[in-house]
Structure 1
Amino acid sequence: MAEEPRCPASRDRELGMDANISRRDFFDGVAVTAVAGAAVTALAGCAPGGDRPWAASPAVPAAVPDGADYPPDLTGLRGNTQQALSIPHAIRDNRLGSVTDTALVDDTGEHYDLVVVGAGISGLAAAHFYRRRNPGAKVLILDNHDEFGGHARRNEFRPEGRDQVLIGYGGTQAIDTPSAYSKEAMGLLRELGIDIEKFEKYFDQKFYDKFKLAQEGDSVFFRYEDFGRDHLAVRAKGMSTEEWLADAPLSDEGRADIITLLDEPEDWLPGLSDDEKKTRLAEITYTDYIRDIAGLGEEAVDFCRSLTSDEWAVPAADWSALDAWGDGYPGFDGLGLDDSRPHRLNSYSVSRFWGRDDPYIYHFPDGNASIVRLLVHRLIPASVPGADELDMDSVVLAEFDYTELDKPENDVRLRLASPCTNLRHDGAPGSAERVFVTYHSTDGKLHRVTGDHVVMAAWHVMGQYLMTELPSTQRLAMKDASKQPLVYANVQVRNWRPWVELGMRHVRFSSGDWAVAQLDYPVSMGGYKHPQDPDEPIIIQMIGVPSPEGMAPAQAAISARHRILHIPFEGYERSIREALNRALGDGGFDAKRDIEAITVNRWGHGYAREYARPFDRFWPDGPTPADTARRKLGRIVIANSDAAPNAYTDTAIDQAHRAVTELFES
């Protein structure tokens, strides 16, 4: 039996908060170093049964890192850092001053055929599509982060004793369900040298069986805070649900409820037709279904709370019961529903993946950051010195030179840490011949360039502030695109023996700061070798989904974002160490001894919000806010996954293609 957790502050030394790993943090653009153990003596809710949110702590200023830093190599707090968000937040809060006053804005004299705002997959794909139609075009790409790729983020680690870098992904995981990709999206992948079929060899599909690691979904950590005792339940091959839950901290009634939900669901909507049942499910959440329709107790509700979290970035209480059925979550088999096709009220993503069974193997070691890197190299060949061409293999270990991204001689220039502050036509949008693009530079000043065309591929919630020429209805529609927050943490550990001892590769937490923790996917390609020996260092990936229960996802996202953007690295680190110690302790894991490095990718603006019942009453008949938000204005078109809205790589590519097509067809 796992010991009941004590207040984290009383365990800082035991957890290894004094260990020698990188703790560089950022606060409002200034690098700081968190002082481990010197600040908060306790997290909130240390009493038994209380919650344990991440803690804030004081910090001591340190030197700002110089331009020689290689972004994928940086540990500590990454993603939507305070540094990246400081100017966007100043614009939002009207603290930046006038961005059109010529006394405040330096006109650089630069003119481009195209300016792209946002260096994520959609913005980079838009630049590519534009140059494919206009090969000699001069393009400038602006982004507020110190790294390109948006959520497709690469994290690198260099363990002592390993002769090769460890590569992880800090955001977009994979080419999900490629059979659903449009001809434009798949065509771009092929153009970049990506052969989907090669992943069938690169992803070691026998890896988990070789080490007898349980399937994803078969390991659940029952948290003390929910069930009164910490307990890790690992379902070995051939084990029944009753055997799996035999030692779990459940009452006899709670155990019976969960077994019923998983193995023996009844027809809890008797007397209704197939369509009536589905319509009823669309009007309630998954939690409502378990509690109110199935009549199961709170232990079953607590068991399912995080089932939807890592896939949809919301807890079960904020996800449609109809989509839970469509996505294969437990509890619906007894309803006898026709599953030959999706129901009209299913969300877009659930509908488009219907009946497709692509394996989840289309994964680069850095997730879809390799797609981004291929795009950047195609746009700026000098970004990888000495490499005339890159493909899906050679890009994995390619060394990018960030000093080459914004050279005057480039046809395409990529300007990082340069958030756009204003987009305005030189005259009436319908007749203007150019667009003024103002941005904030690393020199602390506002600068302006001009462009024949602009692709606004940044978050739509920023578009409402950048594009003041837009009609109020369109700006309001952009405001609706409140992304779902996520936290992706990569933890370098000295070995993965505890996972083998416990017989699992993935664990779901019943609640708390982290939804899941898992071993990095077994992908070897392009000279990169995934760890094969349990005594080798490896990356553990953890996903946190901070959106609270009990409110519509859009409002929950705002609440969660406000919370996580004020948490320093120390708060995340302590939470990671405690969670892994509690879940893996019976396998011999010791956070103080075993954790060697941590990178936390904090995405306050994460997944594009999926339209879904019961919260979005306009779905699917429309019109939707995205329909209004993506309308072309003069020489400015709108891209990004928000324009769909749909949080997938192919969506970002499709929206880029649509936006560029609008420019050339106008």
Structure 2
Amino acid sequence: MTGKTDRELGMGASITRRDFIQDLTVGALVAGAGLGSSSALSADPASASPTTGSAAYPPEKNGLRGSHPGAFEAAHKLAREGGRFPAPVALDEAYDLVVVGGGISGLAAARYYRDRFGADSKILILENHDDFGGHARRNEFHHDGEMRLAIGGTHNLEWWDFSDTVNEYMSYLGVDPQAMRAKMDWDYGRDDEGQTSTWFDSETYGTSRLVHDCDLNKGGGLPPETVDQFPLSTEAREELKRFYALRINVVAEMTDREASAYLSSMSYPEFLARHGGLGEEARQLFNKLQHGGWGVEISALSASEALDLVLPGAHLIGREPKTKPRSYAAALWPDGNSSFARLQVADLIPAAAPGATAQNIALTRVDYAQLDVPESSVRLRLNSTVIRAKEASGGVTVSYINDDKVYSVKARHTVMACYHVIIPHLCPELPEAQREAMKYQVKRPLLLTNVLIRDASALDKLDIDAVACPGRLHARLFTLRGIKTGGYETDGSEGGPVPLVFWGSVSPPEGITDVKEQHRASRALMLAMTFEDYEREVRAVLDGLLGPAGFDVTEDILAITVNRWPHGYAYDYLDLFDDDFAPGEAPHEIARKPFGNITMANADAGADAYTHVAIDQAYRAVQELPSA
């Protein structure tokens, strides 16, 4: 992936070694626990006391995060190997509700349950990771007494799509997206002309070249002088220049319905080739444009879907291309929607974050020791992987693994706020049609690698803020400066450390055409990569991109946190791979049907990867619980 040795890339730097050692320690503990075999899991009644926390503050951890070691092994054993576990120790704990999953949907379900069944309802939330929020993961960097926040997963509040239910919840928690927007001077580096650049790396393109004012997403195209800077063959550059200069309408003789059907039946790369005259070398520039935003290669998108995203090509169907970059006016906290999840926890368990409000939440330090205490009506138990949920005696028995031991608790109701594909393994009694519908929804891998650099001087010298990297693992990187929400005021102008977000997914191997198989293959690659693999990649990119401006890759990288989400974005339906389902017959609608005292939440139940969808589905799931 790079022409330099590990030593030249600074792979021995002390800060990153410390992070890697921490990750190895977690991995060694997991390996030592022997989660690959049931014999290593204790069911000793004498030790029937689940652990409730860790001495470490999860947001401060570096190294491999997201689906970190210890969070997924038991689920993989269950789903991939059909593994068996010891009989659980039944805890002397009684609940009205057990929520499986401590993400935004699960936390919202707890609130809606209390609204419907009473504020004194006893609720247990089980979360397999060592932190809550699901993909709304908070990353904190601390250096020389200063804190810098970064986004570890779910980003935005798409306020324009909020339902009345979501608007009410936001108001209840004191969240005002419009006020947040007023405190933001940031929009993925696309607000100002010239901010978004494209970097061609030497390993992929033969030479390292940074091209300014070059947004490959820009529907209006690029001028010839910009294209001439691309380190591509003369033929590919000429194809691109002809493509951007074309003004035709290939659907002029079609009715609107015919045109829609035609564009929906053709992949975007095929559209670019057939009507734009772009060969494979030119088209590869666009392959990863939706890695972060949609979690797919452009080969998975129809021409219609790509054009709706304002990707280049409107000038081929008689539309005037937009000349400005696409703005995305979402509201955002400096740690993404992790701040929202923290507000949810502060509402459910006030002792964990006393005094927390939407105006100070980004600076609030959560007391993790308060998340799971007997005196609280709502308890949030981390590091707890559910392996079974079964209706029994008018309620539900839920079994889970915590600290290498198997426990069970009983509840009147259960909300499954975890992703759909795992639920058939947890609830094998579900009807076959429902189990098959759940398996249909293969989630899309998501990757956010955050790197704290010593300062922004090299970025400023190069006059860059957001950069597309079409030849690298992460499709895009950008700085987090200009977000002054939740009480966090640092914008980078005062100097000091700056977080860089590397955003995207992992490309599947070539030759896989089915989109679900692409997701599975990308997931396997993501999980197979070690922290060193991710570290080596970001060091190589920063050396090639910022090195010419004086960035010392051996000294100027202060910390690296890898947020890998193999089960990332919820599966929504694509023109090329999914039927036009009749109302009520789509897989997500079949999958989310209630089953006795068990209901289904999370964004999968809405087939859309948005925070507001997860909240809406939590509300629906609670309303579907039987009252008797």
Q: TM-score, normalised to structure 2's length?
A: 0.89
1:352 counterpart residue number: none
Out of 13, 20, 27, the position equivalent to 1:19 is 13
Residue pair 1:214, 1:505 contacting (<8 A) in 2 also? no
2:73 counterpart residue number: 86
Matches within 5 A, 1:433-472: 433-442=394-403, 444-472=404-432
SS in structure 2 of the partner of residue 517 of structure 1? strand
SS in structure 1 of the partner of residue 129 of structure 2? coil
Deviation at 1:95, TM superposition (A): 5.4
- The whole-number CA distance in structure 2 between the counterparts of 1:278 and 1:310 is 26
Matches within 5 A, 1:256-271: 256-269=238-251, 271=253
Out of 203, 206, 230, the position equivalent to 2:208 is 230
2:339 counterpart residue number: 370
1:149 equivalent to 2:133? Answer: yes
The RMSD of aligned alpha carbons is: 2.7
What CA deviation, in whole Å up to 9, does each residue of 1:317-360 have, x standing for no partner?
Answer: 12221100111111122313699xxxxxxxxxxxxxxxxx9853
1:115 equivalent to 2:101? Answer: no
1:394 equivalent to 2:376? Answer: no
Task: Report the CA distance shift for 1:240/1:650 in structure 2 as closer, same or farther (over 3 A).
Answer: closer
Out of 600, 606, 609, the position equivalent to 2:562 is 600
Residue pair 1:193, 1:390 contacting (<8 A) in 2 also? no
Residue pair 2:466, 2:479 contacting (<8 A) in 1 also? yes
Deviation at 1:272, TM superposition (A): 2.8
1:181 counterpart residue number: 162
1:77 counterpart residue number: 64
Residue pair 1:308, 1:319 contacting (<8 A) in 2 also? no
1:195 counterpart residue number: 176
1:553 counterpart residue number: 515
Out of 103, 115, 120, the position equivalent to 1:132 is 115
1:333 equivalent to 2:315? Answer: yes
SS in structure 2 of the partner of residue 551 of structure 1? coil
**Gapped runs of 5+ residues in structure 2?**
31-52
Residue pair 1:236, 1:503 contacting (<8 A) in 2 also? no
What CA deviation, in whole Å up to 9, does each residue of 1:141-176 have, x standing for no partner?
Answer: 00110100000000000122xx43111110011112
2:593 counterpart residue number: 631
- The whole-number CA distance in structure 1 between the counterparts of 2:523 and 2:221 is 40
2:465 counterpart residue number: 505
Matches within 5 A, 1:301-380: 301-336=283-318, 359-380=328-349
Residue pair 1:213, 1:504 contacting (<8 A) in 2 also? no
2:199 counterpart residue number: 221
Deviation at 1:521, TM superposition (A): 4.1
- The whole-number CA distance in structure 1 between the counterparts of 2:244 and 2:442 is 33
- The whole-number CA distance in structure 2 between the counterparts of 1:81 and 1:32 is 12
1:286 equivalent to 2:268? Answer: yes
Task: Report the CA distance shift for 1:137/1:338 in structure 2 as closer, same or farther (over 3 A).
Answer: farther
**Gapped runs of 5+ residues in structure 1?**
34-65, 340-356, 427-431
Deviation at 1:592, TM superposition (A): 1.4
2:527 counterpart residue number: 565
Code of the residue aligned with 2:194 in structure 1: it is A
Q: How many residues align?
A: 593
Code of the residue aligned with 2:107 in structure 1: it is L
Moved more, 271-280 or 463-472: 271-280
What CA deviation, in whole Å up to 9, does each residue of 1:359-381 have, x standing for no partner?
Answer: 53511011000110000010001
- The whole-number CA distance in structure 2 between the counterparts of 1:584 and 1:138 is 53
2:152 counterpart residue number: 170
Deviation at 1:229, TM superposition (A): 2.6
- The whole-number CA distance in structure 2 between the counterparts of 1:607 and 1:520 is 22
Code of the residue aligned with 1:159 in structure 2: it is H
1:30 equivalent to 2:30? Answer: no
Deviation at 1:252, TM superposition (A): 3.6
Task: Report the CA distance shift for 1:480/1:303 in structure 2 as closer, same or farther (over 3 A).
Answer: same
SS in structure 2 of the partner of residue 152 of structure 1? coil
Matches within 5 A, 1:466-485: 466-485=426-445
Percent of aligned pairs with the same residue?
A: 35
1:350 counterpart residue number: none
- The whole-number CA distance in structure 2 between the counterparts of 1:620 and 1:155 is 42
- The whole-number CA distance in structure 2 between the counterparts of 1:25 and 1:547 is 28
SS in structure 2 of the partner of residue 382 of structure 1? helix
